[in-house]
Amino acid sequence: MKFTSYWLDTAPQSSPERAATSVEGRTGVAVIGGGLTGVVAALHLARKGAKVDVFEQDTVGFGASGRNGGMATTGMSIGIRPAVEKLGFDRAARLYGAYSEAIELVEKLVTEEGIDCHFARTGKLNLATKAAHYEGFAKTAELLNTRLGGDSQLVPKAELRREIGTDVFHGGMVESKSAGLHVGKYVRGLGEAAERAGVTIHEKAPVQKLTKVGSGHQLQTPRGRIHADQVLVATGAYTRRPFYWYQVRIAPVGSFIIATEPLDMSVCDELLPTRRMASDSKNLLNYFRITPDHRLLFGGRARFAGSNQQSDMKSGSILRDAMVRNFPQLADARIDYCWGGQVDMTLDRMVKAGQHDGVYYAMGYAGHGVQMATYMGGQMAAYMSGVPEANIWSDFEFRRIPGHFGPPWFLPFAGAYYKFKDRVS
């Protein structure tokens, strides 16, 4: 079993030249973070004629962008009905629409840049863990279909076998716009596209210090210093010093995934015959899908903990038990991959984007990063080029998490709270 991301292990590897670049002189835009937000913003800015340098502490896609489920799905992180109650229909509808636009941008970039990442609009299957959750699906489907142009379809428990090879759920809701892709090949392909557009990518080059100098900023890295007219911070859950202002506004919640050995096609057809992306309705949810090479990928918030090999192993054991409860036919399936990553949660679980002390930022995708990080990369490129309306999140305050001073000491308490909610809700 490999303790590394399946996506990154089976994607093209970075050029070693990126780890030996010279960091000096001036650039138009310095992008800090080589994940989806960073490389998409860099690509769009370079297309506009800007000189762009990307600084990544490890390799492109090493963080959340290469450690997720490879799902680009519709729907807001807080849910559309709570969003309407909190924000009002018009505002919630505008934000909800951005998630669908985001999937369209993913598909457009894949097509334009010729990225071979197995992109397919298979749709999303939401599964009710409790009977009351299925009743909630009915209310959500009515709102989506009657007021938001959706095409959601309810699947009662008696008919659920046409979608999934288990009887543990109380029904489901299907929508067709969501997509699956090989996210490792996607983010690495976007990095190559950015380089073709003229972007310089500096890997193994963490920004150690950021200093305002005149109308621009000076960045200090282990390989030298560079002056940038504009700076975009796109580090998400992997934000650390010297970006303390952002760090204490992001909760880096652990998310863990296992992937089985390649399965016979007949087994895949039994598990998920429609090949949809799938997730259950718990707060500490599980999500799963079939990979391009016929493995079952099974992930979730197994533990509110950080990611290292020991932690990933504990979480992987929890996930394997959950997988077998859902799919007893996989009791003897070998687990080939087990890995963890961090999801960037904000206090209100909303995306955050804007400026702070003259530095641009975009982060806080709360588990919807494949599509929303892609989308916000494009939107931030427009915003930084003088189009203020491109930032649809500008009205949302980026509040500090109470008691957060760097290390996320509060995660076990948050985990206990959500476990309790799952038991009683």
H helices present in 63-119, as ranges: 80-87, 89-112
d(Cα 234, Cα 238) in Å, to the nearest integer? 9
Q: Give the rounded percent of residues in the chain with a pLDDT score beyond 90.
A: 88
What are 230's two structure tokens?
């504009």
| Average pLDDT of the residues in 266-274 | 98
pLDDT in tens, 23-80: 999 999 999 999 999 999 999 999 999 999 999 999 999 999 999 999 999 988 889 9
Domain residue extents for the chain: 6-120+177-254+301-318+334-414
Closest CA to 100 of 353, 350, 344, 371: 371
The label of the residue with tokens 């835009």 reads 29
Q: C-alpha angle with apex 287: 260 to 160, nearest 5 degrees?
A: 100
The answer to whether the Cα torsion of 367, 301, 163, 331 is positive or negative is positive
The answer to whether the Cα torsion of 124, 237, 314, 309 is positive or negative is positive
Closest CA to 123 of 168, 173, 66: 173
Closest CA to 388 of 358, 359, 356, 355: 355
55 within 8 A of 221, measured Cβ to Cβ: yes
Nearest-10 crossing angle of helices 369-384, 89-112: 90
This prediction has a pTM of 0.95
pLDDT in tens, 98-116: 999 999 999 999 999 999 9
What's the Cα-to-Cα distance from 284 to each of 174, 322, 330, 344, rounded to whole Å?
20, 12, 22, 15
The label of the residue with tokens 């530095």 reads 359
Q: What is the pLDDT of residue 40?
A: 98
Q: Which pLDDT band holds residue 307 (cuts at 50, 70, 90)?
A: confident
pLDDT in tens, 320-378: 999 999 999 999 999 999 999 999 999 999 999 999 999 999 999 999 999 999 999 99
Q: What is the pLDDT of residue 304?
A: 62
19 φ, ψ (degrees, to nearest 5)? -90, 5
Q: Which pLDDT band holds residue 407 (cuts at 50, 70, 90)?
A: confident
Residue type, 19: A
The label of the residue with tokens 């296992």 reads 258
Q: How many helices (H) and strands (E) does the chain have?
A: 11, 18
Q: What CATH number does domain 6-120+177-254+301-318+334-414 carry, 3.50.50.60, 3.40.190.10, 3.30.565.10, 3.40.1190.20?
A: 3.50.50.60
What are 207's two structure tokens?
């920004």
d(Cα 112, Cα 106) in Å, to the nearest integer? 10
Q: Give the rounded percent of residues in the chain with a pLDDT score beyond 70.
A: 96
State the first-to-last Cα distance of the chain, in angstroms, to the nearest integer.
36
Q: What is the pLDDT of residue 319?
A: 96
Three state DSSP letters for 207-264: CCEEEEECCEEEEEECCEEEEEEEEEECCHHHCCCCCHHHHCCCEEEEEEEEEECCCC
DSSP string, 150-187: ---EEEEGGGGGGT-S-S-SSEEEEESS-EE--HHHHH
